[in-house]
């Protein structure tokens, strides 16, 4: 089943001589169970593509479909609801809310969607356990967590509530390599369990966790191929 479909998607910032073509005529389909990596030089349009895929930004041409729904057909309220229910984001800087505990951060999407506080907390604790966070850390605030722990909370939040599309923008950027691999394993596991994943990365080794790699240059998809080697081979090579 196709979870994400980009059909001739373009994004232009500004107009006339100042126009920046951040993404040009991009076609991309990601099925349930698939993890796709996006690579490319700085400024090639990777974050733009990810933001369009998650409805954080709107294309200036073409269409973005999530689980068959054209995002541009939704009003603001419905788009926000679709994003909460279907799309999970993981960012390099975690984007946790400092005044909420780990469990409260993870349960926020459910509470915003009307789940009772008690049920949301129980689900959040299970999600935190799933990503390997010690239960003692559930009631800590983000500034009391290590980078690896904070990113686990961000991943739990991104995956909570059976989201089918997981978007990760350099999720390991601020982590040491061992913790980074753990985060990628979680993403891989979620895709194996039926989610569709899109991972922006500069690191070919991380792209090795993906089923496919899409290369961007100057806003255009220039190549889409299988990873150079599978993750296990790459990891063995690194030891
Ligand atoms: N709001 C904006 N206004 C104008 N130009 C923008 C805006 N957002 C992005 N751009 C431009 O669009 C192009 C693509 O940017 P984007 O952030 O998607 O690239 P990227 O591949 O993610 O880069 P990086 O690896 O450095 O994060 C760049 O030239 C960037 O300067």
What atom of ligand 1 comes closest to residue 51's alpha carbon? 18
Kindly report the average pLDDT of the chain as a whole number.
89
Residue 165 domain flag:
yes
Residue 121 domain flag:
yes
44 ligand 1 Cβ < 6 A = yes
Residues ≥6 apart with Cβ < 8 Å to 114:
none
Spell out the long-range contacts of 177-181 with Cβ–Cβ below 8 A and sequence spacing 24 or more.
179/147, 179/148, 179/151, 180/206, 181/235
Question: Does residue 120 contact residue 181 with C-beta atoms inside 8 Å?
Answer: no
User: pLDDT grade, residue 48 (50/70/90)?
Assistant: very high
48 ligand 1 Cβ < 6 A = yes
* Residue 220, token pair as written in the block: 């255009």
What range does the domain containing 104 cover?
A: 2-228
Distance, CA of 146 to CA of 174 (rounded, Å): 11
10 ligand 1 Cβ < 6 A = no
Residue 45 domain flag:
yes
Query: Cα(63) to centroid of ligand 1, in Å?
Result: 20
Ligand 1: which residue has its CA nearest to atom 1? 13
Residue 38 domain flag:
yes
Q: State residue 36's pLDDT score.
A: 96
201 ligand 1 Cβ < 6 A = no
Residue 71 domain flag:
yes
Ligand 1: which residue has its CA nearest to atom 28? 43
Residue 40 domain flag:
yes
When comparing pLDDT for 229 and 46, which is higher?
A: 46
CATH number at residue 87: 3.40.50.300
Tokens 């150079």 locate to 228
User: pLDDT grade, residue 145 (50/70/90)?
Assistant: very high
Structural domain total, the chain: 1
Q: State residue 216's pLDDT score.
A: 95
Distance, CA of 94 to CA of 96 (rounded, Å): 6
Residue 236 domain flag:
no
Distance of CA 64 to the CA centre of its chain: 16
ipTM of the complex: 0.96
Query: Cα(139) to centroid of ligand 1, in Å?
Result: 37
204 burial (CB, 10 Å; 0-12 / 13-18 / 19+) is middle
Of the candidate ranges 4-8, 45-49, 179-183, the one whose mean pLDDT is the lowest = 179-183
Distance, CA of 23 to CA of 220 (rounded, Å): 6
Residue 235 domain flag:
no
């Amino acid at each position: 089943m196709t979870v994400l479909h980009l059909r001739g998607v373009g994004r232009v910032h500004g107009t006339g001589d100042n126009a920046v073509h951040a993404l040009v005529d991009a076609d991309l389909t990601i099925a349930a169970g698939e993890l796709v990596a996006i690579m490319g030089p700085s400024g090639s349009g990777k974050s733009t593509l990810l933001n369009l895929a998650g409805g954080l930004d709107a294309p200036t041409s073409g269409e973005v479909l999530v689980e068959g729904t054209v995002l541009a057909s939704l009003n603001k309220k419905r788009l926000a609801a679709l994003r909460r229910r279907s799309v999970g984001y993981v960012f390099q800087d975690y984007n946790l809310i400092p005044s909420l505990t780990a469990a409260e951060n993870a349960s926020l999407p459910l509470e915003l969607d009307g789940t009772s506080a008690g049920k949301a907390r129980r689900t959040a604790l299970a999600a935190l356990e799933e990503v390997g966070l010690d239960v003692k850390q559930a009631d800590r605030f983000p500034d009391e967590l290590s980078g690896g722990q904070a990113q686990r909370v961000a991943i739990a939040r991104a995956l909570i509530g059976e989201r089918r599309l997981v978007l990760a923008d350099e999720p390991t950027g601020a982590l040491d390599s061992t913790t980074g691999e753990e985060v990628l394993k979680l993403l891989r596991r979620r895709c194996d369990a039926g989610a569709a994943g899109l991972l922006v990365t500069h690191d070919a080794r991380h792209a090795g966790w993906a089923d496919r790699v899409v290369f961007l240059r100057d806003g255009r998809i220039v190549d889409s191929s299988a990873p150079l080697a599978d993750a296990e081979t790459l990891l063995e090579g690194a030891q």
